[in-house]
Amino acid sequence: MYPTLLVLHSLFRWLVLACLLYSIYRAAVGLIRNRPFAKTDNAFRHWTATVAHIQLMIGILLYTQSPFVKSFWRHPQTAFQDLNLTFYGLFHLLLMLVAIVLLTIGSAMAKRKTADRQKFQTMLIWFSIALVLIFVAIPWPFSPLSGRPYLRTF
C-alpha cells in the first residue's frame, strides 16, 4: 500500500499545483481587469480546495504508513538530528496542514464575499500564501531539507 500511496501523492501534487496556480492567475486577472466573478472562477475556487483536500487525505494515509515517520516517532530524540526524518516526521506534515487550512479559509471567505473584487482579492491573497507554504514543504530534488524526484513511478 505504501508504494502506491507514494506514487499517487507524488502525481497528485502536480494537479494541486496546477489548480492552485491557475486559480491564482484567474484571481489576479479578475482583480486587475475588474472582471465579474464568473461561475468558472467559482468552480476553480471550489475545485482547487477539493483537489487540495484529496491530496491531504492521501498524505495522511501515507503518513500513517511511512517508514520515515515511524522511525521518527520511534526515536524522536535521535530523529531530530536527522534532517530527512525530521522533515517527513514533522515539517512536511505541519506546513502542508497549515497550507491546506489557509487555502480552505480563503476559499470559504471568497465564497461568502458579495463584491466580485473582494472575491478575487481574497482568493489571490489566501491561495498565494498557501502556495508559498506548499512550495517550501514539497521535497523538491533541489531542496536542502529533503530531496525526492519530480515524479515517482511504480
- The three-class DSSP label of residue 82 is coil
What pLDDT sits at residue 151?
Answer: 77
Q: What is the mean pLDDT of the chain?
A: 92
**Contact predicate 20/123, CB 8 Å:** no
- pTM assigned to the model: 0.89
Q: How many domains does the chain have?
A: 1
* 82-103: average pLDDT: 91
Cell of 121: 482579492
Query: Would you say residue 153 lies in a domain?
Result: no
* 128-141: average pLDDT: 93
Cell of 54: 484529496
**Contact predicate 148/62, CB 8 Å:** no
Element spanning 84, H or E:
helix 83-86
Query: Would you say residue 44 lies in a domain?
Result: yes
- Can you give the residue range of the structural domain that contains 22? 2-137
Rounded distance between C-alpha atoms, residue 22 and residue 79, angstroms: 38
What pLDDT sits at residue 154?
Answer: 63
Ordered alpha helix ranges (H), the chain? 2-32, 39-65, 67-74, 76-79, 83-86, 92-112, 116-137
Query: Would you say residue 17 lies in a domain?
Result: yes
Kindly state the DSSP code that residue 138 receives in the 8-state scheme: S
Q: Quick check: 140 pLDDT over 70?
A: yes
